[in-house]
Amino acid sequence: MGEKPERSESMLQGTLDMLVLKALTRGPLHGYDVAEHILAWSGDVLRVEEGALYPALHRLELRGLLASEWGVSANNRRAKFYRLTAAGRKKLAQEKSQWARLSGAIARVMEA
Protein backbone atom coordinates (compact mmCIF):
# COMPACT_ATOMS: atom_id res chain seq x y z
CA MET A 1 0.00 0.00 0.00
CA GLY A 2 2.71 2.38 -0.93
CA GLU A 3 0.38 4.77 -2.63
CA LYS A 4 -0.57 7.81 -0.65
CA PRO A 5 -3.70 9.78 -1.17
CA GLU A 6 -3.18 12.92 -3.22
CA ARG A 7 -4.29 15.14 -0.47
CA SER A 8 -5.52 14.44 3.02
CA GLU A 9 -9.22 14.73 3.43
CA SER A 10 -10.15 17.48 5.77
CA MET A 11 -12.63 16.28 8.28
CA LEU A 12 -15.04 18.08 10.42
CA GLN A 13 -14.40 17.58 14.09
CA GLY A 14 -17.74 15.89 14.63
CA THR A 15 -16.98 13.44 11.85
CA LEU A 16 -13.61 12.61 13.37
CA ASP A 17 -15.26 11.95 16.72
CA MET A 18 -17.69 9.58 15.01
CA LEU A 19 -14.91 7.72 13.23
CA VAL A 20 -12.94 7.35 16.44
CA LEU A 21 -15.96 5.97 18.24
CA LYS A 22 -16.64 3.60 15.36
CA ALA A 23 -13.05 2.38 15.33
CA LEU A 24 -13.41 1.31 18.93
CA THR A 25 -16.53 -0.80 18.43
CA ARG A 26 -14.42 -3.95 17.95
CA GLY A 27 -12.75 -3.59 21.32
CA PRO A 28 -10.10 -1.52 23.10
CA LEU A 29 -7.36 0.03 20.98
CA HIS A 30 -4.45 2.37 21.55
CA GLY A 31 -4.26 5.66 19.69
CA TYR A 32 -1.96 4.43 16.95
CA ASP A 33 -4.26 1.54 16.10
CA VAL A 34 -7.29 3.82 16.03
CA ALA A 35 -5.61 5.83 13.28
CA GLU A 36 -4.53 2.65 11.48
CA HIS A 37 -8.04 1.20 11.62
CA ILE A 38 -9.59 4.30 10.17
CA LEU A 39 -6.96 4.40 7.45
CA ALA A 40 -7.48 0.74 6.55
CA TRP A 41 -11.25 0.80 6.67
CA SER A 42 -11.36 3.90 4.48
CA GLY A 43 -9.27 2.16 1.87
CA ASP A 44 -6.26 4.30 2.67
CA VAL A 45 -8.17 7.51 2.05
CA LEU A 46 -8.65 8.91 5.54
CA ARG A 47 -5.33 9.57 7.17
CA VAL A 48 -6.00 10.97 10.63
CA GLU A 49 -3.30 13.35 11.70
CA GLU A 50 -1.92 12.84 15.15
CA GLY A 51 -2.38 16.51 15.97
CA ALA A 52 -6.12 15.98 15.56
CA LEU A 53 -6.40 12.39 16.76
CA TYR A 54 -5.06 12.73 20.28
CA PRO A 55 -6.96 15.89 21.20
CA ALA A 56 -10.11 14.11 19.95
CA LEU A 57 -9.39 10.98 22.02
CA HIS A 58 -8.80 13.00 25.17
CA ARG A 59 -11.80 15.20 24.51
CA LEU A 60 -14.02 12.12 24.18
CA GLU A 61 -12.51 10.62 27.30
CA LEU A 62 -13.14 13.79 29.27
CA ARG A 63 -16.73 13.78 28.07
CA GLY A 64 -17.14 10.26 29.41
CA LEU A 65 -17.71 8.69 25.95
CA LEU A 66 -14.45 6.78 26.17
CA ALA A 67 -12.65 5.21 29.08
CA SER A 68 -8.94 4.56 29.12
CA GLU A 69 -6.61 2.06 30.70
CA TRP A 70 -2.89 1.59 30.58
CA GLY A 71 -1.91 -1.83 29.33
CA VAL A 72 0.79 -3.68 27.43
CA SER A 73 0.86 -3.58 23.64
CA ALA A 74 1.47 -6.49 21.29
CA ASN A 75 5.15 -5.59 21.21
CA ASN A 76 5.36 -5.45 24.98
CA ARG A 77 5.25 -1.73 25.49
CA ARG A 78 3.29 0.43 27.93
CA ALA A 79 0.36 1.83 25.97
CA LYS A 80 -2.88 3.63 26.69
CA PHE A 81 -5.93 1.67 25.54
CA TYR A 82 -9.24 3.35 24.88
CA ARG A 83 -12.61 1.62 24.95
CA LEU A 84 -16.18 2.71 24.37
CA THR A 85 -18.36 3.41 27.40
CA ALA A 86 -22.12 2.88 27.41
CA ALA A 87 -22.54 6.60 26.83
CA GLY A 88 -20.10 6.40 23.93
CA ARG A 89 -22.03 3.54 22.36
CA LYS A 90 -25.24 5.53 22.57
CA LYS A 91 -23.57 8.61 21.12
CA LEU A 92 -22.20 6.53 18.21
CA ALA A 93 -25.66 5.18 17.39
CA GLN A 94 -27.01 8.72 17.29
CA GLU A 95 -24.19 9.99 15.11
CA LYS A 96 -24.53 7.03 12.81
CA SER A 97 -28.19 7.52 12.06
CA GLN A 98 -27.64 11.23 11.62
CA TRP A 99 -24.79 10.59 9.27
CA ALA A 100 -26.85 8.11 7.24
CA ARG A 101 -29.57 10.68 6.83
CA LEU A 102 -27.18 13.39 5.85
CA SER A 103 -25.06 11.38 3.42
CA GLY A 104 -28.18 9.85 1.85
CA ALA A 105 -29.56 13.30 1.35
CA ILE A 106 -26.33 14.56 -0.24
CA ALA A 107 -26.16 11.50 -2.47
CA ARG A 108 -29.69 12.07 -3.66
CA VAL A 109 -28.91 15.68 -4.44
CA MET A 110 -25.82 14.74 -6.40
CA GLU A 111 -27.65 12.11 -8.41
CA ALA A 112 -30.58 14.28 -9.25
Partner 1 sequence: MREAFTNWRLKWRALWKRRQLDQDLEDEMAFHLEMREEKNRREGVTDSARQAFGNVALVKEDLWDQWTFRAVENFWRDLRYAARMLRRSPGFTLVAILSLAIGIGGNTAIFSVVDAILLKTLPVRDPEQLRVVLWTGEKGAPTDMAQSYSTTNDSGIRVVSSFPHPTYQQFVANVPQFSDLIGFVGYQVTVLAGAASHYAKEELVTGNFFTGLGVTALAGRTFAPEDDRVGAAPVAVISYRYWERHLGLEPEAIGRTIFINGRPVTVIGVTPKSFVSIRPGYAPDIYIPMALTGIFGDKWLNLADPDTAWVQIVGRLRPGVSDASAMAGLASVMQRAVATGGGKRGKAGKPWQPVLDNGASGLKLLRHNALTPLLVLTSVVGLVLLIACANLANLLLARSVARRREIAVRLSIGAGRSRLIRQLLTESLLLAGMGAALGLALASPLIAVMLRMAGGVAIVAARLDWRALLFTTVVALVTALLFGLAPAFRATRVDLTPALKDGMGGAQGPSPQLRVSRLLIAGQVALSTLLLAGAGLFVRTLMNLSALDPGFQAQRLLLFSVDGSRSGYQGDKLLGFYERIREKIAVIPGVQSVTLSDAALIGNSYSSAGITVPGYTPNDGREPMTYLMRAGRHFLTTMGIPVLLGRDLDGRDVQTAVRVGVVNETFARDYFANENPLGRFFYFHSDDGQKTRPEDRVEIVGVCKDAKYDKLRGEIPPTVYVSYLQAHDYDTGMIFELRTALPPTAIAGAVQRVVASIDRNVPLPEIRTQEEKIRQTLGTERMFAGVVSSFGVIAALLAAIGLYGVMAYAVTRRTSEIGIRVALGAGRGAVQWMVLRESLWMVVTGLAAGIPAALALTRFVQGTLYGIKPNDPVSFIAAGALMIVVAAVAAWIPARRAARVDPMRALRCE
Residues of the shown chain interacting with partner 1 in the complex, contacts defined by CB under 8 A: 2, 30-32, 49-51, 54-55, 58-59, 61-64, 70, 73, 75, 77-80, 87
Please return the burial class of 24, using the count of CB atoms within 10 Å of its CB with bins 0-12, 13-18 and 19+.
buried
Least separation in angstroms between CB 71 and partner 1: 11
Least separation in angstroms between CB 54 and partner 1: 6
Q: Which is nearer to partner 1, 19 or 66 (CB)?
A: 66
Between CA 35 and CA 20 the distance in angstroms is 8
Q: Which is nearer to partner 1, 19 or 60 (CB)?
A: 60
Q: Which is nearer to partner 1, 79 or 99 (CB)?
A: 79
Least separation in angstroms between CB 23 and partner 1: 15
Where would I find the H helices in the chain? 13-23, 31-41, 50-62, 86-111
Q: Which is nearer to partner 1, 63 or 101 (CB)?
A: 63
Residue type, 41: W
Least separation in angstroms between CB 20 and partner 1: 14
Closest C-alpha to 26, from 69, 87, 72, 83: 83
The answer to whether 38 and 48 are in contact (CB under 8 A) is: yes
